[in-house]
Structure 1
């Protein structure tokens, strides 16, 4: 292989990313006017403060993406990846899988270094705005732990990928699909039992007041909520949150201790009811099943991109330079399909919001919760439509309030 071919497929993928990046940046800098209805719940000062905060975060996000994308485009199509693969081949003394590992390790490290300044800036912003209480020592500890885990799992994945590519150059993606599907479902057990405890402490909730809330919501929802835990989020953040995780016997609700300590009972109950909605509708399992469809399509497209971009010779092992093609494809396809992924997520969140009203037999605590969360967390309650469509996994605050107000 003499070079990576830049073709119409890459042009389309990069063009879409470029258009989305431009629109995201434009609406970040020029968000437009705020609808009049917003002032019914929030003051002009609160709205202006939240907009300023989110403008900073959005600039960090889009700058990080563009930095990685521009590097990978230059590296992949500017012969840098091929020249570097020849260098790692010399260093590895012709040992193929050592060559693959060295190439991967170098590319992984470069991408980490590109992302690091943006991660640090984001941390400083969260500290400055009062949302992070982490010391730099604690932040670095988390960063190195997450980086080590990513490196280990990525190393295993890359080595298996090259085994598949060399053994089945045409149908490798089918083998990869089955393997990654197993991994996706296995992580439902692995993450809460092995990964999450490396960063936070999870304890069963014993507060009778909370337990009574859960039992009442369980009866109203017609489900058995038997696992609800508290997470010590306060060692890192002042923000409140909660999440539902798992399916079947692995299902559980996790509440941040910041929520339990700082929010009134009716709002905590509204949070539990919302997470019970996710439990009732099996949203994690549905997300996994949708994810497997996306994975199948993504791997199929990746196979097309690989074969249209490089020349694969029979009985000759594929060059490690294909890794830059894969990294670039994953970065661009994830960015370009953000609207689809977030649309699906928003529909599930809307469903959980409506179910929470049903389980509570009241709209007021749900609306009150949304207003309180927005004020305390500086949420952009009415972002530009494009920003919400492209990047919001949850409906904006005003859309959630309007949805609940219309509920029967």
Structure 2
């Protein structure tokens, strides 16, 4: 039986929590908006009544199916992991422990996918009805299968690493496993653009021309080293407009969606790219990775404390495959509970990138036009419930971003906006 030292678990948790707080205070921009907090722009000043009705109708349906899917998935995970009957399904898995772990992960993930598949289908039908995708059902199913396989593989690797640490260092494993999870997060951020992104998109270099030249000039102005500018064939899956800068070090590249290049004027495209280059300039990928690594320490420490309590009550230990659904249930609960924290941090970082993009391009009109087009094409809810935005909103709303552009324009006109 694996019995970690309680003091090790407590210290691991405390170190991870302190590191997270210090990194968040140090690296996260908590007051990125010049002039203080913003009030979103009036919806009627940006969209017509028909456009607002269409976006809000879709958002209501999307929330219904998404939140129902989340609730059902969480309920299944909790039944499998927190009840004796649920865990009994995993008591007779074949093979050694390193075979049983991925089998248990696959069983949990596939069961959760099966029970939530009807909601995914209903949401996709809504997206088709509203013209948000032209992807065929077959291609959609292939992407869904790829996502499930990727989730199973990555989750299995993480749990195998934790269990291997627990078997090798029976009393100190929380600290070692937490550090190992942190390393995996950092390594994953580095290899993701090379190993994972090509599974879901095809990339081609952006041809030489005025747009590529302008993007490289933006990168030079921002002091960002970019290895390449690629175009992703995202239009086969979505009408949403986007771009991103992925990786860091030797894997950094700007990726623009093909519909962004084809459908928007160049000044609006550059507004999107400037936002993404701001993320790279501030090292936001590394910031997220470091916060994730410190979160791994907290998770390992708390996990050991919870499992020790469960074990004392006759529950599974880390050598029992029945611990896999328990761990996955705890992860699902923790992810939901901590969503307000992670999404609040994300919104602050996104806002800083918007501010930097507006300062770099000095073109608030292009920024506003781009945000308007993004809202029309993706049908993002222009006025989500406040609690929903706090809990699930990883980005500021489109109307908030438009208000930011209006403020930056006023500050520049008044001569009070710092360079």
> Do 1:312 and 1:318's aligned partners in 2 also have CA atoms closer than 8 Å?
no
Q: Which residue of 2 aligns with 1:298?
A: 299
Moved more, 227-236 or 96-105: 96-105
Q: Which residue of 1 aligns with 2:54?
A: 49
- TM-fit CA distance, 1:99: 4.5
Counterparts in 2 of 1:4-403, with a 5 A limit?
A: 37-88=42-93, 95-311=96-312, 318-403=319-404
* CA distance 1:110–1:242, change in 2 (3 Å): same
Q: Structure 1: how far apart are the matches of 2:187 and 2:242?
A: 25
* CA distance 1:77–1:317, change in 2 (3 Å): closer
- TM-fit CA distance, 1:159: 3.1
What SS does structure 1 have at the residue aligned with 2:255?
A: strand
- TM-fit CA distance, 1:359: 0.8
TM-score with structure 1 length normalisation?
A: 0.83
* CA distance 1:208–1:85, change in 2 (3 Å): closer
Q: Structure 1: how far apart are the matches of 2:74 and 2:334?
A: 11
- TM-fit CA distance, 1:54: 1.0
Q: Structure 2: how far apart are the matches of 1:176 and 1:151?
A: 19
> Do 1:134 and 1:237's aligned partners in 2 also have CA atoms closer than 8 Å?
yes
Q: Which residue of 2 aligns with 1:18?
A: none
Unaligned runs of 5+ in 1: 2-33
* CA distance 1:250–1:317, change in 2 (3 Å): closer
* CA distance 1:117–1:348, change in 2 (3 Å): same
Tell me which of the two structures has the higher relative contact order, counting C-alpha pairs closer than 8 angstroms and 6 or more residues apart.
2
Q: Deviations over 1:205-248 (max 9, x none)?
A: 12411123213323432444442211011222222111121123
> Do 2:179 and 2:296's aligned partners in 1 also have CA atoms closer than 8 Å?
no
* CA distance 1:136–1:82, change in 2 (3 Å): closer
* CA distance 1:78–1:190, change in 2 (3 Å): same
* CA distance 1:51–1:323, change in 2 (3 Å): same
Aligned residues: 370
Q: CA RMSD in A?
A: 2.5
> Do 1:382 and 1:397's aligned partners in 2 also have CA atoms closer than 8 Å?
no
Q: Structure 1: how far apart are the matches of 2:334 and 2:195?
A: 29
- TM-fit CA distance, 1:317: 6.7
Q: Structure 1: how far apart are the matches of 2:342 and 2:309?
A: 26
Q: Structure 2: how far apart are the matches of 1:269 and 1:317?
A: 51
Q: Structure 1: how far apart are the matches of 2:46 and 2:325?
A: 48
* CA distance 1:205–1:77, change in 2 (3 Å): closer
State the 4+ residue runs in structure 1 displaced beyond 6 angstroms.
none
* CA distance 1:335–1:220, change in 2 (3 Å): same
* CA distance 1:154–1:293, change in 2 (3 Å): closer
> Do 2:97 and 2:319's aligned partners in 1 also have CA atoms closer than 8 Å?
no
What SS does structure 1 have at the residue aligned with 2:89?
A: helix
What SS does structure 2 have at the residue aligned with 1:310?
A: helix
Unaligned runs of 5+ in 2: 2-38, 409-416
- TM-fit CA distance, 1:98: 4.6
Q: Which residue of 2 aligns with 1:31?
A: none
Q: Which residue of 1 aligns with 2:19?
A: none
* CA distance 1:311–1:103, change in 2 (3 Å): farther
Moved more, 269-278 or 330-339: 269-278
- TM-fit CA distance, 1:331: 0.4
What SS does structure 1 have at the residue aligned with 2:254?
A: strand
Q: Structure 2: how far apart are the matches of 1:117 and 1:98?
A: 30
TM-score with structure 2 length normalisation?
A: 0.81
